[in-house]
Structures are given as C-alpha cells and as structure tokens.
Structure 1
Amino acid sequence: MGRIITFLVLLITTAITAQNSEEAQVKLAVDTFFEGFHKGDTTLMKSVMIDKFLTQTTYKDKEGNGMLVNEDSSKLIQAIANRPADQKWDERLLDYNIQIDGTMAHVWTPYEFWFNDQFSHCGVNSFQLFNDSGNWKIIYLIDTRRRKGCQE
C-alpha cells in the first residue's frame, strides 16, 4: 500500500512538473516576442513566430459597433522594423493565462500600451502557439483595444 501511494505521488509530481515546464516554455516564447517588440529586434520576434500568420484587432467604433481589422504578421514586423528611433512603444503585460493541450497552447495576456511614456490604451492579447519539434511558435494573434475601463 505504501509503495502504491509513493508511486502515485511521484506520478502526480512528475506530471505537474512537466506541465509547469511547458508553461514556462510557452511564456518564454511570448516574452521573447515582446522583448523583440520593445527593442525593435524583428529577428528576435521572428525566432518565436511562424513565417506568416493572421493578426487581428477588435474594438468598438464611436457608435459602439464591433470592428475587426485583419492583417498579415509581416505588416507588424514592418512596423517594428521601421519604427522611428524617437518612438518608445511599451506594451506592459499584466498577467498570463496559459492553456496547453499537446502541441497547441493558448496565452491570454491583459495589457496596457504606453507610447513615449504616455498611456495610450489597454486590452487583451490572445496568442495561439504551436509546438514545432520542441519549439513553441506563435501562429495567431488577436488583440482588443480600448481607452476606457483600464487600470492605468
């Protein structure tokens, strides 16, 4: 009986450790993306992205209607690469909610965006990632943007 309990405790501990390790790797991919974003280092960003994927932004227009903007990830990369040196973009992630199932992960990150040290907007990023032979890669990104209801 004691051996069975010991075995079960080891099995559960191993499973929790493996899950925490995967979550850490997924979080690292998102953190690497934003490290590149803040530094203007598109090579670093691309290291955790597949070649091209859809990026979307959703928000409410002045009349309160839902809007959805679709873009290719290359447009984001171009914006980062061509950002003027006098512009500081600071996207502050407030939390991470990471869910993983096999080779797929979802990361939900509420954020505040600051432009040249001035609050601009807040929202949530929703990342989809794929485990490509042990490397987590961002395959999809959608975010919300709003100026009201923020924590700043």
Structure 2
Amino acid sequence: MRFVFSLFFVLNVAFLHAQNNAEEEMVIKTITNFFEGFHAQDSTKMYNAVYKTVLMQSISKTTSKDVTLSLTNFKAFVGQIKSIPETDSFKEVLLSFEVKIDGNMANVWTPYEFWYNDKKRHCGVNSFQLIKENRQWKIFYIVDTRRSFN
C-alpha cells in the first residue's frame, strides 16, 4: 500500500511539474514574441503580445540622483519604436527569465542590456505582469529599472 501511495505521489508531482514547465514556456514565449516585434518594429506583433490595456513605467535616477517613477503611454512607445530610422540598430538583450505563476497571473523578472548602434546605452531589470485569458498569456504591466552608461 505504501508503494502505491508513493508511486501515486511521484506521478502527481511529475505531472504538476510538467504542467508548470509548459505554462512557463508559454509565458516566456509571450515575452519573446513581444521583443521579436519590438526588434522588427512590428507594431502588430507587439500589440498581439499585450492585453487590451497595458501600463508601462520606468524607475530611474535624474541627473541630480533623485529616484523617479515615470509613466509611458503604450501607443506612444510603439510609435517611438516604429520611428527609429532603419539605419540605426537597437536591441534589448534579455539575460535570463525568472517566472512565477499563480493560476491566471504570471510575473517575469528579466535582467537586460539595451544596445543602440552597437553601444550599450543602459541596463536594468524588466518586471512583466501577465494575465492568462482564453488560454493565452498577455502582458498587462511592464516596469523596468534603468542604469545609464553615458
């Protein structure tokens, strides 16, 4: 009887772990799709990765070293990305993903480096909040930190 219980427990844990890994992969895929659109300046792909309303904020320091929290309009952000000249290169490199999921909510922590015309401009951490609706993960909140190298 103990053997049957142990086997049942191990199989249950393995099943739940596999489910969590699949969900984590779906969450990461949503973020990578967003950045594929970002790098391609493809507004449709970026909008497909976000919820119907999305909030964007940044935490940074002013030149006088005061900490500031700024709000960015998502539509304006997409417009800025689309307006980058084709002659310029830009890339946000995500260094890792730390995913936490509870039901239909996920949080992803991604340290990053931002490069513009082959020069590292700033680095920090992105924190994404996602919601799972109709079996799809969508980003509804992005906050990042920014440390400049200039």
Name the TM tier (shorter chain): over 0.9
Q: Deviations over 1:59-97 (max 9, x none)?
A: 011222111111221111111222211121100001111
| Aligned counterparts of 1:17 and 1:53: Cα–Cα separation in 2 | 30
Residue number in structure 1 paired with 2:18: 17
| Aligned counterparts of 1:122 and 1:133: Cα–Cα separation in 2 | 34
Shift of 1:51: 2.7
Residue number in structure 2 paired with 1:31: 32
- Within a 5 Å distance, the mapping from 1:66-85 to structure 2 comes to 66-85=67-86
| Aligned counterparts of 2:51 and 2:103: Cα–Cα separation in 1 | 18
TM-score by length of 1: 0.93
| Aligned counterparts of 2:45 and 2:126: Cα–Cα separation in 1 | 19
Residue number in structure 1 paired with 2:45: 44
Letter in 1 for 2:117: N
- Within a 5 Å distance, the mapping from 1:1-152 to structure 2 comes to 1-147=2-148
| Aligned counterparts of 1:131 and 1:24: Cα–Cα separation in 2 | 13
Judge which range, 130-139 or 47-56, deviates more. 47-56
Shift of 1:52: 3.0
| Aligned counterparts of 2:145 and 2:64: Cα–Cα separation in 1 | 17
Alpha-carbon RMSD across the aligned residues, in angstroms, is 1.1
TM-score by length of 2: 0.94
| Aligned counterparts of 1:65 and 1:116: Cα–Cα separation in 2 | 28
Higher strand share: 2
Taking only the aligned residue pairs, the percentage that are identical comes to 39
Letter in 2 for 1:128: Q
Number of residue pairs matched by the alignment: 148
| Aligned counterparts of 2:104 and 2:58: Cα–Cα separation in 1 | 25
| Aligned counterparts of 2:51 and 2:95: Cα–Cα separation in 1 | 25
| Aligned counterparts of 2:39 and 2:127: Cα–Cα separation in 1 | 18
Q: Which runs of 5+ in 2 are unaligned?
A: none
Shift of 1:98: 0.6
Judge which range, 39-48 or 108-117, deviates more. 39-48
